[in-house]
Amino acid sequence: MNGDGVRPGEQVLDAILADLDESRIRTQIDEPIEAVFREFTEGMDYNAEPRTGHEVFSEFVQRVYRDGLRAPWKVADPDATTLLLLESHYRGLQFEGYSGAIQDATGPAIGGMTFALTQLADIIRTQERQAYADAVFTRRIDPSNWRLRCEIVEVLVERYRPWLPPHLLDYAVWQLLDEIPGMVLALLSSCPAVGGILNPLRNKPGN
C-alpha cells in the first residue's frame, strides 16, 4: 500500500479504467474518424469524375489512415488493405465480405455507398479501439509482477463481482492472472457505472 492506503493493484486498475473511459476513447479515436467520414462523403457529391466502388473505398481508407488515426501513416498498398478490411469484416445488407460491400455500394438502393462507407469506417474504428486497449494493458501491467497482477484480480472481484463473467468467479485469484484484460473489457461492456471501450457505438458516422 502507498501512504494513502491504496494498494498498487488498485492504482493500476484505476489507471486502466481511466485510459479506457468512453469519453476519452471517443475523443481520441471515434471523433477523428467521424470527421474524415463526414468530409469524404460530403465531397463525393461534388466529385464529377466517375469512380468504381473499389476506387472510392480505397481512397477512403487512405484518407482515414492519413487524417483520422492517432498515429497517422501512409498505406503502402491501399488496394490490398481495403480488400483485407472488407473481406474479413464487412457485414452488409444481404451479403458479407468485399463482394457484399461492392454490391451495397453500387446497387440500386439509395445511399448504398454511404451505407458501405459507414460500415468501413466502423471496421477501422473497431480495430483502432482494440489496438488502443491492447496497448493500455501492455503499458499498465507488468507481466513479471505476480503480486501486482494478483491484487488487480482481487480488486476486480471485490468491486465488480456482479458484472464479471460468472464462470470466472469459481477460480482462485492466481488462476485468473491471464484473464485480466478479458475481465476488464467484460466489466466495461456491462457495468453502467464504469462504461467504456466496448459499449455499443452510439454515434456512428452518418447518424
Write down the pLDDT at residue 196.
54
What digits encode the pLDDT tens for the residues 162-191? 999 999 999 999 999 999 999 999 999 888
* Domain parsing of the chain, residue ranges: 8-190
Give the list of residues 6+ apart from residue 177 with CB closer than 8 angstroms, or none.
146, 149, 150, 153
Residue 176 carries which DSSP code? G
Q: Which residues pair with 91 in a beta bridge?
A: 96
**With contact defined as beta carbons under 8 Å apart, do 154 and 9 qualify?**
yes
C-alpha cell at 151: 491484487
Write down the pLDDT at residue 142.
96
Write down the pLDDT at residue 192.
65
Mean pLDDT of all residues in 122-144: 96
**With contact defined as beta carbons under 8 Å apart, do 105 and 113 qualify?**
yes
For residue 206, name the pLDDT band (cuts at 50, 70, 90).
Answer: very low
Write down the pLDDT at residue 66.
96
